[in-house]
Amino acid sequence: MTADPTARFSVAGKSIIITGASGAMGSEAAKGLGAAGAKLTLAGSNREALEQLAALPECAGAAICVRRPDTPDDAKAIVDTAVNAFGKLDGMLVASGMNKVAMITDMDVADWESVMDANVKGSWLMSQAAGRVWLEQGTGGSLVLVSSTRGKLGHPAGYTAYCPSKAAVDLLGKTLAAEWGPSQVRVNVLAPTVFRSELTAWMYADDEKGRATREAMFARIPLKRFAEPEDFVGALVYLLSDASTFMTGQVLYLDGGYTAC
């Protein structure tokens, strides 16, 4: 009798950290992974939002760490919260990040640095803290970093901080996959295009600006729509489960076909 292949997609009982858990992607990931039985550690700077998320039936039993990965101590505290709560760490989604938009001739260095710190330094610090635990555990693990189609493609309207930061995340994922492969720690990168969030709500609006933006974008997106946060849950279940034990060092574009055109 052939074993059920869908069993490899189970995340039940896996201890998984989500940073940026109060954001659009992070919160939807928490609900999806929690409903599938994962033991969640939710990290972010908004205590109220984290507590509301942890109170949902899907996230019952989740641990909370009210921190952003701004320093090595912050990153360690987040990882320690998961290990202390559940005795181990199996996977992590680094969904925290930010953007500040300005043409390069107008952008302050401080704004450029803040984007790099949030997107690159934060991913690096969380990777370092989790990696130390995984190498000590000796049982492997799965890390998912969040990038963007803008890690591959430029943008004409003030993205000289964001695009380079996401390209750095892509290469960080590939480098860690090579470094940690012998220890069976897998590292992959999820790279979406526009998805619904507080920052992109205007693109979904039924006004002249929203309609014009969608028309221009949909000319490049074969599926002719933007993403919803729940569109990423299936890929995350795959990447954080045993179904992807031979996948590492990859940038997975969930973009409706945007980068194919």
Q: Report phi then psi at 156, rounded to 5.
A: -85, -5
Q: Active-site residues: which are they?
A: 162
Give 97-101 contacts, CB < 8 A, sequence gap 24+.
97/20, 97/122, 97/123, 97/146, 97/165, 99/159, 99/161, 99/162, 99/199, 100/161, 100/162, 101/157, 101/158, 101/159, 101/162
> What is the helix, strand, coil percentage profile of the chain, to 5?
50, 15, 35
Cα(97)–Cα(8) distance, rounded to whole angstroms? 30
Strand order in the sheet with 91-94: 63-65, 39-43, 15-19, 91-94, 141-146, 185-192, 251-254
